[in-house]
C-alpha cells in the first residue's frame, strides 16, 4: 500500500512529542492540523532569502516574493479545482472569508429578504449572518436537523425555507461536530432556482475531501489554511469569477484599489479588490506548500484514510459503556467527516463533563476538544451543553484511537469509583 | 501533581450533589457569567439581609470544577457579612492564581482548599473562578440596589 | 558605542544576499522590514513543538499554544506602553485594524457627521473612511499640507476643519512618503475638545519610535507586524480599554462570542470581541519575538540610528544633480521618519520615471520602491504621479546609501546619454 | 540580459518623443486603464473608419516602458484594419509572456521588437502591455458602438 501513515508521520516533527509517560495522541485536527516539515521550511526559506512586499515592490526580492505569493495562490486554486487563479481571495482565516461574503453579498439586502443557514453551523457561519441581518433588517432562517444529525430537508420543504425571498443560503459542507456531509449540490440547486447565492463553509471539507469548487454547485466557498496542514494567519474565499467581479469591496486600503482620489476611489478587479493591505505573504507560501503536500499524498488517499480511521473509531468507541456518539455512527455512502463527538457517563449515570474528560485524556497523552466546539446552537438543539470531540487526519493511527479508548475507560471508571 | 489528585473527593462529591443549587426568590441581584472559551455558564442570584448574605442561588452548566466550586462557594458565603464573603473571594482568587505555590488556609477556606490543586492547571483556573466571580458581581449589584432603595426611602 | 549595525546585520540572514555582482542594499523597509533569525526561529519552534489552536484547546499543546499566544500579546502591549494587555487587538495587518476602527467606531454615524483625515494618508487610512462615509452619509474632510510637507494647521483652523460635527479624526503619525512626523497630541486635543475620537495610523511610527500609546493622546492606534521585524499576516489595533469596551464587534465568528443562540448572540469583552476565528497564532509568537528583539536593541537607539542614517541620506542625496527630495529635508526637532522620497531628472530635464529608476537601481543591488507608495492623493497634491522612495531601518548602513547614490548617478547619466 | 540592453534606444526615443500623444476628437470609444500595482495610467481613444483604425490618441502617466510601448503601438495600429491590429496585439502579448524565449517577427512588429527584452523582467511586462490592452478594449467598444449605430440607421 502506498499510503504509509508511519512514513507520513515522520514528516510532522510535533507528532513525536510525549506527554509525561505517554506518547502524544493528537486527536484534535478538526480544531487545527499539525504541519509537515516542508511547510515550515518553505516559510523559513521565504523569510531568510526572499522576503519583501509583493506587487508594489519590483526589485529582485520583490519579484521573488511576488512570484512566491502568486504561486501560492495558483497552487491553492489548483488544489480546489478553480477555473481561474483569480477566483481565490486570500483572507486571514475562514471566519474573515465568511464575513467578507456577508458584507459584500449582503450590501444591498433589505427588510423582507431572507438569509438561510442551519442549526449545525460553526459560529463563524452564524454570527456574520446575524450581524448582516441586524444591519439590513433582513430575516435569518435556518435548517433544523434530524435525529441522525442530518439537515432536515423534509421540514425545510414543508416550511418553504428556501423561497422567493431567499437571497443567500450559507451551509457547512462537513459539520465540525457531527461529521455530517451535507448535500451541497442539491441545496445549491434549490438556492439557484430562487435566484439566491449559495455560500459554502468548506473549513472541514477542503482538508479531507477532494474539492472541485466547480463541481460543488456553490458560488462562494470559504476555507482555512491551518486545518489543511498550512500555517495560521491565512484562509481563503473562492468565488465564481463573474460573481466576484460584481461584488463591492469589503475591507479598504492599499492593494485593493485602482485609482484613489480624496473625493472617491475605484477598485481593482478580483481577487485584489478583496485583499486590503499587505497580504499574508509568507503564509501563502506555506499554504501553497501545504497544497503541494496534500496533492502529492493524493486527496483520494487522504479521504480514504480518513474514512477508514473514522470507521475504526466509530466501531471501537461504540463498544464503550456510557459513551454516546452524536449524529451519524457510520461512514455511509454520503461519507462522513473525521470528527466524532460524544458524551460520556459513568455506569451509575453521572454525566462526566467534557472538560473533565479532556483533562483526564490529556493526562494520558490524548489531545481532544471538550466544549461546544463553536457550535452552541447545535448542542442546544441536541439538548446538551457540551461534548467531547476526537478528530482525525491524514497522520492518525489506529493505535491512537486505542489510546483514546483506554483513556476514556479509565476516566469513566475514575468518576464512577467516586460514587 | 496528577489529575487524579486534582480531582479530590470533595470536588466530585459537590459535583454529584450541588449545594444550594436552583434559582430562588427573593433576591437582590442576578447575574449571568460565561466562560466563552469553554462555554461554561452560570446564572446566579444573591439575596442580602442588611450587610449579610442571606442566600445565594444559581443554575449552571459546566465541568465538575466549575460546578463544585460554585457549590462550595455557596456553603462558605451564605450567612456571612458581605465584607467577609468578599474577603473569601479575594483569598480564593489569590489561591487560584498562585500556580500551586500558595498554602491555603483550611480554617478560612474549608472545603475550598480542595481546589488548591487546580491552581497547577492553568487551563482550569477559570473554571474554578466562574461561580466566585459571579457572586462578587451579584453582591456588588445587590448592595447598590439596597443603597438606592434606602436613599429613596430616606427622602 | 553599543549600537553596532554590522553586528545587528548578522541577525538578518537575508541581508547577505547578493544581486549579481553587487551586495544587496535593501532600502525598502518602509514597505516591509526584514526578519532577524530569532523571529523566524520562534515561529519554527512553535510549529514544530507547540502548535495547537488557542483558548478552546485545553490539552497540553493547547495550553502551550495559548500561553505563547497570550505572551505575544503581552509583549506587544508592553512594547507600545499599553496600560492593559487587553487593549491590544490582533488583526491581519494595519489595514484591517483601520477598517475595524472605521466599522466599529462608525456604526452609528449619520449624515451631517464629519470624518477628518489628511491628504498625506496611506490608502489604508483613506479608503476605509471613504467606504464608511458612503455607507452612512457622513462627510469626509481632510487636512491639506504645506509646501514643506507638513499638515497645514493654519488652513485647517481657518476652515474649521475640526468642529462640532467632527466624530472621528484619523491621521498618520509618520508619513510613509515624506517622513513627516505629525503633531498627534495637539490634534488629538482638538479632536477631544469637540468630542471626536482620535485614530492614529502608527504603521511607520511604531517600528521606528519609542511608542507610548498612553502618552500619544490617541484613542486607537493601528500598526502592522511586518514593518517591525515581525512576520506578515499580523497587525494590531490598540485601543483605550473603556472605548473598546463600548464598541460593537466588526467581524463575527468563533472566539469573539459570549453566548450564541440562533435568535441572537452576545459578545466577549475586548480584545476577543474583535478577533473572530482562529487568530494568527504563530504570527503572534513571531511578533512577540520581534517586540523582544526591538526592546533588547532599545527603541531609543533604534530611533537614534534612524535619525542618523536619514540625516546622512538627506545630505548626500541632495548633492545629487537632478534629484529633488519631497517634503522636509532635515531631521528637525519634530523628528523625521526614515523614508526619503524623491524625483530624478536628467541634466537636460527629462523626468526619469520612478519605475525606470527602480529597475536600474535593482540591477545595481539597490532595492527601493517606485510609484505612488499607496499615497496617490499626496502625489497628486504635490503635482506628480510617482516618486522613488528609499527607506531605512535599524540595519541600514551608510555604505548602502553610498551604493544608492552611485546607482542614481549612473541611472541619471544613462538616461541623459540617450538624449 | 542587462537592464541597459532592455532599455533599447528605441524605447528611450519613444519615451522622449511620444507619437500620437494627446487626446483627439473624433473618437468612437474611450477607456481608462490602470496598473494598480505601480500606478501607471492611460486614457485612450480609438476612432474607427469602417473596419480601419483611423486614429488612436491617448494621455498617460507612467514609466518609459509603458509610455514608449503605447507610442509604438499607435504607430503600428493606425491605418490598419481592426482585425490586423488585434492580431498584432495578440502577437505582442504572446511575446511579452514568452519569458524571452520567443523570437519576435521584425517585419510585423517593427519598433515593438525593442520590447523583446522586457519579457525577461516579469515585473515590467505589465508596463509594456498597458497601452495595448487599453487599445484592445477601446477597439472592441468602438466596434460595438458602430454596430449599434448602423443597426439604428438600417431600421
Ligand atoms: C502609513 C501606512 N499605513 C498603513 C499601511 C498599511 O499596512 P499593511 O499593508 O500592513 O496593512 C502602511 C504600509 O503599507 C503604511 O505605510
Ligand atoms: C466548520 C467550520 N467553519 C469555520 C471555522 C472557522 O475557521 P477559522 O477559525 O480558521 O476562521 C471552523 C474552525 O474553527 C470550522 O470548523
**Measured between alpha carbons, how far is B23 from B32 in angstroms, rounded to an integer?**
12
B70 touches chain A (CB under 8 A): no
**Measured between alpha carbons, how far is A328 from B75 in angstroms, rounded to an integer?**
43
- Look at residues A313, A338, A335, A311 and name the one whose alpha carbon lies nearest to residue A394: A338
Is it the case that residue C311 has pLDDT exceeding 90? yes
Name, in order, each residue with C-beta under 8 angstroms of A371's C-beta and a sequence gap of 6 or more: A354, A355, A386, A387, B37, B38, B39, C56
Neighbours of chain D (3+ CB pairs under 8 A): A, C
B154 touches chain A (CB under 8 A): no
| Residues of chain B contacting residue C56, judged by C-beta atoms under 8 Å apart | 37-38
- Answer yes or no: do B2 and A363 touch at CB < 8 A: yes
Is residue A374 flagged as an active site residue?
yes
**CB contact at 8 A, A127 and C259:** no
Is it the case that residue C85 has pLDDT exceeding 70? yes
Q: How far is the CA of A122 from the centre of ligand 2 (A)?
A: 7
Is it the case that residue B1 has pLDDT exceeding 90? no
- DSSP element (H, E) containing B141: helix B122-154
Which value does ipTM take for this structure? 0.94
Q: How far is the CA of A366 from the centre of ligand 2 (A)?
A: 22
**Measured between alpha carbons, how far is A295 from A160 in angstroms, rounded to an integer?**
41
* Closest Cα in chain A, distance from residue B134 (Å): 19
Is it the case that residue C389 has pLDDT exceeding 60? yes
For C301-321, b/e burial (b = at least 16 CB within 10 A) is bbbebbbbbbebbbebbeebe
**D30 domain-assigned:** yes
What is the per-residue pLDDT across D57-100, written as a single tens digit (0 to 9) for each?
999 999 999 999 999 999 999 999 999 999 999 999 999 999 88
| β-bridge pairing A22-23 and A197-201 | unpaired
**D77 domain-assigned:** yes
- Answer yes or no: do C385 and D39 touch at CB < 8 A: yes
C29, C32, C93, C94: residue to mutate for ligand 1 pocket, most atoms within 8 A of CB: C94
**Domain coverage including residue B63:** 3-146
Predicted pLDDT at B152: 81
Is it the case that residue D8 has pLDDT exceeding 70? yes
- Answer yes or no: do C355 and D121 touch at CB < 8 A: no
Phi, psi of A141 (to 5 degrees): -125, 165
**B118 domain-assigned:** yes
C31, C102, C121, C122: residue to mutate for ligand 1 pocket, most atoms within 8 A of CB: C122
* Closest Cα in chain B, distance from residue A403 (Å): 17
DSSP state of C28: B
Is it the case that residue B79 has pLDDT exceeding 60? yes
**CB contact at 8 A, A382 and A373:** no
Domain A39-295 has CATH 2.60.40.10: no
DSSP state of C255: T
- Give percent of chain C with pLDDT exceeding 70: 99
Q: How far is the CA of C201 from the centre of ligand 1 (A)?
A: 8
- Report, as an integer, the average pLDDT of C212-225: 97
- Answer yes or no: do C58 and B36 touch at CB < 8 A: no
Q: What angle do CA C373, C97, C153 make, to 5 degrees?
A: 60
**CB contact at 8 A, C109 and C132:** yes
Q: What ligand 2 atom has the least distance to the C-alpha of A175?
A: 1
Give the residue ranges of DSSP H helices in C89-145: 94-105, 127-136
Q: How far is the CA of C124 from the centre of ligand 1 (A)?
A: 6
- Answer yes or no: do A252 and C380 touch at CB < 8 A: no
- Report, as an integer, the average pLDDT of C23-28: 98
| β-bridge pairing C114-118 and D52-61 | unpaired
* Closest Cα in chain D, distance from residue A194 (Å): 33
Quote the crossing angle between the two packed helices D82-96 and D122-154, to the nearest 10°.
Answer: 160
Name, in order, each residue with C-beta under 8 angstroms of C194's C-beta and a sequence gap of 6 or more: C162, C163, C164, C166
Predicted pLDDT at D58: 98
**Measured between alpha carbons, how far is B97 from C36 in angstroms, rounded to an integer?**
35
- Look at residues D46, D113, D112, D45 and name the one whose alpha carbon lies nearest to residue D81: D46
Q: How far is the CA of A358 from the centre of ligand 2 (A)?
A: 20
D79 touches chain A (CB under 8 A): no
**B151 domain-assigned:** no
DSSP annotation string for A131-191: HHHHHH--EEEEE-B-TTSSB-HHHHHHTT-S-TTEEEEEEESB-TTT-BBP-HHHHHHHH
- CA distance readout (Å), A46 to C32, C102, C236, D123: 14, 33, 23, 19
- Answer yes or no: do C369 and A127 touch at CB < 8 A: no
Residues of chain A with pLDDT under 70: 1, 56-57, 418-419
| Residue C161 grid cell | 476643519
- Evaluate: CB of C94 within 6 angstroms of ligand 1: yes
Query: What burial class does residue D26 get, using C-beta atoms within 10 Å of its C-beta: 0-12 exposed, 13-18 middle, 19+ buried?
Result: exposed
Collapsing DSSP to helix, strand or coil, A26 comes out as: strand
- Give percent of chain C with pLDDT exceeding 90: 95
Q: What angle do CA A108, A112, A116 make, to 5 degrees?
A: 80
Do C and D touch, 3+ Cβ pairs within 8 Å? The answer is yes
| Residues of chain B contacting residue A354, judged by C-beta atoms under 8 Å apart | 63
- Substitution target from D34, D64, D65, D128 for chain C, most C beta carbons within 10 A: D64
Collapsing DSSP to helix, strand or coil, A391 comes out as: strand
More confident call, C2 vs C150:
C150
Q: Which of D4, D62, D65 sits opposite C414 (nearest CB)?
A: D4
What CATH number did the domain enclosing B80 receive?
Answer: 3.90.1010.10
Question: Which residue's CA lies nearest to atom 12 of ligand 2?
Answer: A203
Predicted pLDDT at B155: 67
- DSSP element (H, E) containing D68: helix D64-77
Residues with CB under 6 A from ligand 2: A 93-95, 122, 124-125, 172, 176, 201, 203-204, 224, 235, 374; C 254, 277-278
Collapsing DSSP to helix, strand or coil, C126 comes out as: coil
**D12 domain-assigned:** yes
Q: Which sign does the torsion angle of CA C262, A151, A326, A129 carry? A: negative
DSSP annotation string for B13-51: HHHHS-TTBB--S--SEEEEEEETTTTEEEEEEEEEETT
D129 touches chain C (CB under 8 A): no
* Range picked from A76-90, B6-20, B28-42 for highest mean pLDDT: A76-90
**Measured between alpha carbons, how far is A388 from A203 in angstroms, rounded to an integer?**
20
Collapsing DSSP to helix, strand or coil, A291 comes out as: helix
Q: Which residue has the cell 446552537?
A: A377
User: What's this model's pTM, rounded to 2 decimal places?
Assistant: 0.95
- Report, as an integer, the average pLDDT of B58-85: 96
**Measured between alpha carbons, how far is C340 from A292 in angstroms, rounded to an integer?**
41
Do B and A touch, 3+ Cβ pairs within 8 Å? The answer is yes
- Look at residues A365, A363, A353, A329 and name the one whose alpha carbon lies nearest to residue A412: A353
| Residues of chain B contacting residue A353, judged by C-beta atoms under 8 Å apart | 62-64, 67
DSSP annotation string for C292-346: HHHHHH-HHHHHHHHHHHHHHHHHHHHTSTTEEE-S--S--TT-B-SEEEEEEE-
- Report, as an integer, the average pLDDT of D92-118: 93
Predicted pLDDT at B39: 78
Predicted pLDDT at D149: 85
Predicted pLDDT at A56: 67
Hey, how many other C-beta atoms are within 10 angstroms of the C-beta on A171?
A: 25
C224, C229, C393: residue to mutate for ligand 1 pocket, most atoms within 8 A of CB: C224
- CA distance readout (Å), A137 to A111, A126, A219, A260, D138: 4, 16, 23, 32, 42
What CATH number is given for A298-418 in this structure? 3.90.1150.10
Is it the case that residue B111 has pLDDT exceeding 60? yes
- CA distance readout (Å), B97 to A98, A335, B118, C87: 38, 46, 9, 21
Q: C370 - beta bridge partners? A: C388
- DSSP element (H, E) containing B6: helix B3-6
| Residue A386 grid cell | 457540551
**D153 domain-assigned:** no
Q: What angle do CA B21, B26, B27 make, to 5 degrees?
A: 75
Predicted pLDDT at C418: 54
**Measured between alpha carbons, how far is C151 from C352 in angstroms, rounded to an integer?**
28
DSSP state of B117: G
Count, residues in chain A? 419
* Closest Cα in chain D, distance from residue C355 (Å): 6
**B152 domain-assigned:** no
- Look at residues A21, A24, A141, A81 and name the one whose alpha carbon lies nearest to residue A395: A24
The domain segmentation of chain C, as residue ranges, is 39-295, 298-418
Is it the case that residue C43 has pLDDT exceeding 90? yes
Q: Which of B36, B38, B41 sits opposite C257 (nearest CB)?
A: B36
- CA distance readout (Å), A302 to A296, A306, C72: 10, 6, 34
Predicted pLDDT at A268: 93
**CB contact at 8 A, A419 and A346:** yes
| Residues of chain B contacting residue A383, judged by C-beta atoms under 8 Å apart | none
Predicted pLDDT at B36: 75
- Evaluate: CB of C231 within 6 angstroms of ligand 1: no
Predicted pLDDT at B105: 92
Count of the separate structural domains present in chain B: 1
CA C7 from chain centre, in angstroms, equals: 26
**Measured between alpha carbons, how far is A414 from A346 in angstroms, rounded to an integer?**
9
Check A42, A105, A282, A374 and give the catalytic one: A374
Amino acid at each position: 500500500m502506498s499510503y504509509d501513515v508511519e512514513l507520513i508521520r515522520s514528516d510532522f516533527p510535533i507528532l513525536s512529542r510525549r506527554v509525561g509517560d505517554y506518547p502524544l495522541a493528537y486527536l484534535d485536527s478538526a480544531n487545527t492540523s499539525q504541519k509537515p516539515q516542508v511547510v515550515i521550511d518553505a516559510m523559513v526559506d521565504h523569510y531568510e532569502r526572499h522576503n519583501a512586499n509583493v506587487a508594489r515592490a519590483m526589485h529582485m526580492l520583490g519579484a521573488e516574493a511576488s512570484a512566491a505569493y502568486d504561486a501560492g495562490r495558483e497552487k491553492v486554486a489548483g488544489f480546489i479545482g478553480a477555473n481561474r487563479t483569480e477566483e481565490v481571495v486570500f483572507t486571514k482565516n475562514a471566519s474573515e472569508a465568511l464575513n467578507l461574503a456577508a458584507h459584500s453579498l449582503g450590501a444591498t439586502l433589505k427588510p423582507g429578504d431572507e438569509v438561510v443557514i442551519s442549526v449545525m453551523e460553526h459560529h463563524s457561519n452564524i454570527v456574520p449572518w446575524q450581524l448582516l441581518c441586524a444591519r439590513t433588517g433582513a430575516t435569518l432562517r435556518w435548517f433544523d436537523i434530524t435525529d441522525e444529525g442530518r439537515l432536515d430537508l423534509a421540514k425545510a420543504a414543508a416550511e418553504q425555507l428556501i423561497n422567493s425571498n431567499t437571497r443567500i443560503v450559507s451551509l457547512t459542507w462537513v459539520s465540525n461536530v457531527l461529521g455530517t456531509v451535507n448535500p451541497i449540490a442539491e441545496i445549491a440547486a434549490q438556492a439557484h432556482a430562487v435566484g439566491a447565492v449559495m455560500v459554502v463553509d468548506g473549513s472541514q471539507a477542503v482538508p479531507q475531501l477532494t474539492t472541485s469548487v466547480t463541481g460543488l454547485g456553490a458560488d462562494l466557498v470559504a476555507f482555512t489554511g491551518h486545518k489543511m496542514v498550512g500555517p495560521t494567519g491565512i484562509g481563503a474565499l473562492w468565488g465564481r469569477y463573474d460573481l466576484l467581479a460584481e461584488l463591492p469591496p469589503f475591507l479598504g486600503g492599499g492593494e485593493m484599489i485602482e485609482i484613489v482620489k480624496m473625493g472617491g476611489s475605484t477598485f481593482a478587479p478580483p481577487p485584489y479588490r478583496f485583499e486590503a493591505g499587505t497580504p499574508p505573504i509568507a503564509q501563502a507560501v506555506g499554504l501553497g506548500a501545504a497544497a503541494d503536500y496534500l496533492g502529492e499524498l493524493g486527496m483520494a488517499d487522504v479521504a480514504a484514510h480518513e474514512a477508514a480511521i473514522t470507521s475504526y473509531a466509530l466501531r471501537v468507541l461504540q463498544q464503550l459503556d456510557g459513551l454516546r456518539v452524536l449524529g451519524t455512527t457510520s461512514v455511509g455512502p454520503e461519507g462522513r467527516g473525521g470528527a466524532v463527538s460524544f458524551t460520556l457517563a459513568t455506569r451509575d449515570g453521572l454525566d462526566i463533563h467534557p472538560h473533565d474528560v479532556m483533562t483526564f485524556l490529556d493526562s494520558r497523552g490524548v489531545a481532544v476538544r471538550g466544549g461546544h466546539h463553536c457550535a452552541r446552537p447545535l448542542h442546544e438543539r441536541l439538548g446538551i451543553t457540551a461534548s467531547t470531540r476526537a478528530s482525525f487526519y491524514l497522520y492518525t493511527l489506529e493505535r491512537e484511537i486505542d489510546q483514546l479508548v483506554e483513556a476514556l475507560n479509565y476516566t469513566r471508571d475514575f468518576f464512577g469509583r467516586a460514587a | 501533581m496528577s489529575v487524579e489528585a486534582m480531582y479530590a473527593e470533595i470536588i466530585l462529591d459537590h459535583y454529584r450533589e450541588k449545594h444550594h443549587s436552583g434559582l430562588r426568590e427573593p433576591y437582590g441581584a442576578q447575574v449571568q457569567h460565561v466562560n466563552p472559551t469553554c462555554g461554561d455558564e452560570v446564572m446566579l442570584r444573591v439575596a442580602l439581609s442588611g450587610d449579610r448574605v442571606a442566600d445565594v442561588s444559581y443554575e449552571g452548566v459546566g465541568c465538575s470544577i466549575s460546578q463544585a466550586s460554585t457549590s462550595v462557594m455557596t456553603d462558605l458565603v451564605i450567612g456571612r457579612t458581605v465584607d467577609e464573603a468578599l474577603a473569601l473571594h479575594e483569598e480564593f482568587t489569590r489561591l487560584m492564581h498562585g500556580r500551586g505555590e500558595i498554602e491555603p488556609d483550611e480554617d478560612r477556606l474549608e472545603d475550598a482548599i480542595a481546589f488548591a490543586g487546580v491552581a497547577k492547571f492553568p487551563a482550569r483556573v477559570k473554571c474554578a473562578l466562574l461561580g466566585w466571580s459571579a457572586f462578587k458581581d451579584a453582591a456588588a449589584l445587590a448592595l447598590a440596589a439596597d443603597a438606592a432603595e434606602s436613599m429613596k426611602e430616606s427622602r
